[in-house]
Structure 1
Amino acid sequence: MPRKRLNAQEPPRKRNRTGCNKCRARKVRCDEQKPVCSQCHAKGFECETSIKLKWEQDYTSAGRAFGRAGLWSKNAAEKSTVSSPCIHVNDEEIFWIQTPRISSYSFVNATVGNVEQLTTLDSIAWEIGSVLDVVRVSDRDDTSSTASLSPWLSTREPLFVPHQRMIPSALSMLPGLSNPMHSSLLSYYLEKICPITVPGSVNKSPFVNLVLPFSISSSPAVLEALLALAACHRSKNDAAFRSASLRLGDNVLRTLRRRLSAEDPLRVALDPETLVIMMILCQYEIINECDKRWVVHLRGARDLIRIRRNARLSLGTGQSSNELIEFAEKYFAFHDVIGRTACGEEPIFGIDFWTSDGEDTDAWLGCSSGLVSILCEITELSRQHRSRPSLSLLPEFQSQAASLERRLCGLHQRVFDEEDDTLQLSAELKRLVAELYLHCSLNGATPAMPLVVGHVQQILRLISVLLEHEVLAGLSWPLFVAAVELEPMADLEWAERQDLPHEVPNYARPFVLYALNRLRGSIANITKTRSVIERVWLLRSQHDLSEIHPSLTKDQNDWERYVSPLCGGLSLA
């Protein structure tokens, strides 16, 4: 209660606003004597005076009155006219913003460091490389009217294969080993790794039908390489297998070096065991996320295959050995083709390796050899365009691009087992991706074009269906191509929310991150793939907020500007 005045006629004394801190804290009157007021002197306190600034904006934003305004007044007439600054809202007027679901694989578009890069043109030029203007093609409102960017071809709608039934997985028979850890790793190889090397379980993986029998019957070194591969893959989720992976991999390399030093190098090169070991070590490095070492095995395999073909020797003692060598050569050649679609580098394996008229769908490739042959020609034509951007204006270049598009449109990929739904979906998915890659790398398509948007939606739908079937094989390349061709300024809704399971995002970017997270258990280098995708997204966003460096030329297409400079050594097969 306020203290009563002794003299009622005496006017009330106002509180001072420059008293010391102790008196203000104790709410007593300070006489403001210097250097020590009488209250602090009597109590033995340290007398200090300071000023505390208060800002009206802070009080208003917090819904509080600033100072004494609106709280009270000694004059009743004034009190009735003073209103509180607080705003009262009914429950019906409150609109709650929905909090988005944040997952462990979510993506932050930009950080402070990324924003700082926008102030430096040199850093932008270093990120993009040879940045060139995109060849713009006039967009039309009708998506179907832009199904082809080539002036030589007519329109065509991309095809979507509807959802198919689930195919159950099968169990494998495991041979026994004396070492319990080795037996466990071999079981892991057969039950975990081999099923994810092919789309579905109807077709057996070559790693089961060809590689494993050869390792058990003819090559302990290959068997040890398979155990190293299993330990490396298992160490991604269980660090306890990391040491076993390194030890087994080192033993395989020691064995190979010992043979090269003790035996005739030509004889070692012609031994099928050498090529198979290099194939497994290449896959080992991809799983181990070593971005450059797997390319070393790829180049070594090219020289090894060249020696074998030039010598015209027998590929083995029997038909199984011949099939094994053919698979090993196909393994390296396919990794070369798919990797070059992103980076546009010179080929390691030539176009003549693939049969252009092959229509039979290969279970391990997930498509036909004819489709791979077309991809080889697209990448080679794209590489020529990258070295000479003016080629796109020549009629010969446009004719070749139109011919490749025509072949893709009319490509029939035959699957012998009509019940193998996942293999049919995989083959159609890769054909659609090849079409999108052709338009972006040869015809100057950009993410904003209706043609690209339509293809991306179809590709994401097929990827979603295959993930629903628990298919992991061969999805990293389709997902990569679709992801790097997303329009940064548009949040693409690729499917209706009610048509998807609860955990599957219906917007493109979140779905890409969701799918990459699902593919972490595959045998692809998902960490590097996601890193490149995020950098492409960031560069596209920065391009809209910054100016291109004036020293850069202006003839490259969108793919060569944003994607190729970031994809050196990237494994996508």
Structure 2
Amino acid sequence: MSRSFTGCKRCKARRQKCDEQHPECGRCKAAGVQCRYAMQLQWGGRTFSRSRFGACVGPGGMQRLEYSPGEFVYTTVNSGKLVSVKSETPASSSPSSSSSPDLPLVRQVDPFPSLPPTQKALLQHFIRDASHVTSCHPGMQDEICKMIVPMALQTPSLLYATMALSAIHLEAVNNQSETVKAAPDIARLMARSLEHFRIELQDPSRKGSDALLATARTLCLAEIHSGAIQPNTWRAHVEGAKALMTTTKSSTTPNTAFRKYLDRWYRSIVALSALNGNGPPIGASTAESIQSDSFVTDGPDYLDDYWGFTVHLAAIFREIGIIAWQRHQNDDTSRQLKSEDEDFEERAATLEKMVLGMIDRYSGDNQTVFYPGVVERLTDDSIREFMLCNEAFQHTALIHIHRRVRKVPASSPEVQYSVKRILACTSQIVPKSGLSPWVMLTTPLFTAGCEALGEDREAFKQLFLSLHDTTRIPNVLQSLSFLEAYWAEDDKNVDEDWSHFLDRMNFDFIPY
């Protein structure tokens, strides 16, 4: 007779055969004791490797993971490892089925189990694709995702902002770049982010946190990438980041690796916004001026791999913005005095000398210095492309000096020389969908494109189309649209640079 496993508890404990009568068995009834039937859950048992499931997994495939004292689960040693299972087909099977390859079984863990499917898809698209167009090399993209994603899962404003940035890129991938700004789903994500952002800003425990600054940064990128042109859109988020940075200086927030990245982002976006021309540089006084070159020679001149140009050049961009804005205001209010012209010329000469010195310093075999730990992760081709990108930004600075400060015509030799150098540099950078200095070229291409003449205009147009086709950033297409509108007014371009043109059109636009 086969052994029974469903006897009463008394018979099992005494190792006696139970007749399994209900409600009480014969042995318990004869002894006059209470008879109880119950299922006993047994933890442990034989060694896992000797169990039936353990045998299926195979030796070395599992490990015991203790997540709290006395509590554990068995998990795979490497959750990303593939386990091949050979299909056993009978001899009579068709040739095609008998020769089928091993079937890989992938054990995957859902990293976002609490998110709805739509939100999960957007976050996965950000990690897989959208984050590539804000990164100049794979190491940077990996760092950004490792910093942003875990923080977003704990900060609603950052989560919705990240999903909005991802949705903008996804719309462009689906050939909807021109209608991104009107997409209701993206508008809802941005609105939800702002709603949570206002609440989180009132929370004392979040004061000066990296998460809030990361939200400001991501909202700013989302506005810029979408091609926003209305005043106080992207610029408002940079101003918000400025306020948060000021708060942090007086707090005890640790200077984390993520905070260092956010500091670099802030300095660079302020530098690029200074070239915008629709207002004074963010965070700078219009009364500032160059007294000496000390403002760019303090500290090493690192080539910032997040933006594709050097730290000292970022400071020069800000100074160009200050001087150009002062001249812009003077042009609008009164006729220039000779003394004022001489002052602007002197300051322009100082800036030009600094930029030309940088070009000479980094020409030939003299390579720029990257932040510590960066160059080891770059290929020789990436280093060469960073050098070309930095040179393109250097000539961008020269064009702004000549056109916006000195007010020389676009046809002047010095302007056209820089236009052709930018065209030569950018043409040597291989078009890619991301993880390359290629993604940072909108500013130099737009600046040089505005001053391009003849056949060079078509060359810049093709570069812009290639840049949009690879990166799928709607603002690139917006930049080309403004560029063609500016070209169409050639008769005014002699006296009016592109910043004045955008001011007249009431567009608060940044070519990024």
TM-score by length of 1: 0.56
CA distance in 2, matches of 1:438, 1:268: 42
- The residue number in structure 2 matching 1:300 is 240
Q: Give the alignment of 1:198-347 within 5 angstroms.
A: 198-201=135-138, 203-204=140-141, 207-216=144-153, 218-219=154-155, 221-238=157-174, 244-260=185-201, 263-264=202-203, 267-292=205-230, 293-309=233-249, 312-316=250-254, 319=255, 322-347=256-281
CA distance in 1, matches of 2:337, 2:297: 24
Deviation at 1:566, TM superposition (A): 4.5
- The residue number in structure 1 matching 2:401 is 438
Would the alpha carbon gap of residues 572 and 174 (structure 1) be closer, same or farther in structure 2, given more than 3 Å must change? farther
Q: Is the 8 A contact 1:286 1:523 kept in 2?
A: no
Deviation at 1:485, TM superposition (A): 0.8
Percentage of matched positions with identical amino acids: 20
- The residue number in structure 1 matching 2:510 is 571
Tell me the alpha carbon deviations over residues 234-266 of structure 1, each in whole angstroms, 9 at most, x when there is no partner.
022336995653444343233234445xx54x5
May I ask how many residue pairs the two structures share in their alignment? 361
CA distance in 1, matches of 2:338, 2:418: 23
The alignment status of 1:532 with 2:482, answered yes or no, reads yes
Would the alpha carbon gap of residues 344 and 250 (structure 1) be closer, same or farther in structure 2, given more than 3 Å must change? closer
Which one-letter code corresponds to 2:309 in the other structure? C
CA distance in 1, matches of 2:184, 2:393: 37
- The residue number in structure 2 matching 1:380 is 322
Tell me the alpha carbon deviations over residues 152-177 of structure 1, each in whole angstroms, 9 at most, x when there is no partner.
xxxxxxxxxxxxxxxxxxxxx99722
- The residue number in structure 1 matching 2:111 is 176
Which one-letter code corresponds to 2:125 in the other structure? Y
Which one-letter code corresponds to 2:354 in the other structure? R
Higher relative CO (Cα under 8 Å, sequence separation at least 6) belongs to: 1
Matched position secondary structure for 2:461: helix
Deviation at 1:475, TM superposition (A): 1.0
Would the alpha carbon gap of residues 223 and 570 (structure 1) be closer, same or farther in structure 2, given more than 3 Å must change? same
- The residue number in structure 1 matching 2:416 is 453
- The residue number in structure 2 matching 1:57 is none
Would the alpha carbon gap of residues 510 and 190 (structure 1) be closer, same or farther in structure 2, given more than 3 Å must change? same
Which is richer in strand? 2
CA distance in 2, matches of 1:465, 1:378: 27
CA distance in 1, matches of 2:324, 2:393: 18
CA distance in 1, matches of 2:459, 2:351: 30
Which one-letter code corresponds to 2:168 in the other structure? C
Would the alpha carbon gap of residues 228 and 302 (structure 1) be closer, same or farther in structure 2, given more than 3 Å must change? same
Q: Is the 8 A contact 2:308 2:390 kept in 1?
A: yes
Matched position secondary structure for 1:361: strand
Deviation at 1:300, TM superposition (A): 2.2
Instruction: Please say which structure displays the higher CA radius of gyration.
Output: 1
Would the alpha carbon gap of residues 175 and 215 (structure 1) be closer, same or farther in structure 2, given more than 3 Å must change? farther
CA distance in 2, matches of 1:284, 1:177: 22
Gaps of 5+ in 1: 1-172, 492-506, 545-555
CA distance in 1, matches of 2:310, 2:159: 30
CA distance in 1, matches of 2:506, 2:150: 36
Which one-letter code corresponds to 2:112 in the other structure? L
Pairwise CA RMSD: 3.3
CA distance in 2, matches of 1:466, 1:570: 25
CA distance in 1, matches of 2:461, 2:405: 27
- The residue number in structure 1 matching 2:467 is 519
Tell me the alpha carbon deviations over residues 193-249 of structure 1, each in whole angstroms, 9 at most, x when there is no partner.
222223344654653353234335x53542343223212220223369956534443
Would the alpha carbon gap of residues 213 and 421 (structure 1) be closer, same or farther in structure 2, given more than 3 Å must change? farther
* Equivalent in 479, 482, 485 of residue 448 of structure 2: 482
- The residue number in structure 1 matching 2:36 is none
The alignment status of 1:465 with 2:428, answered yes or no, reads yes
Would the alpha carbon gap of residues 463 and 455 (structure 1) be closer, same or farther in structure 2, given more than 3 Å must change? same
Q: Is the 8 A contact 2:210 2:259 kept in 1?
A: yes
Deviation at 1:408, TM superposition (A): 0.8
Deviation at 1:484, TM superposition (A): 1.0
Gaps of 5+ in 2: 1-107, 289-294, 363-367
CA distance in 2, matches of 1:256, 1:543: 42
Deviation at 1:430, TM superposition (A): 0.8
Q: Is the 8 A contact 2:157 2:195 kept in 1?
A: no
Deviation at 1:572, TM superposition (A): 2.2
* Equivalent in 360, 369, 374 of residue 311 of structure 2: 369
Matched position secondary structure for 1:342: coil
Matched position secondary structure for 1:343: coil
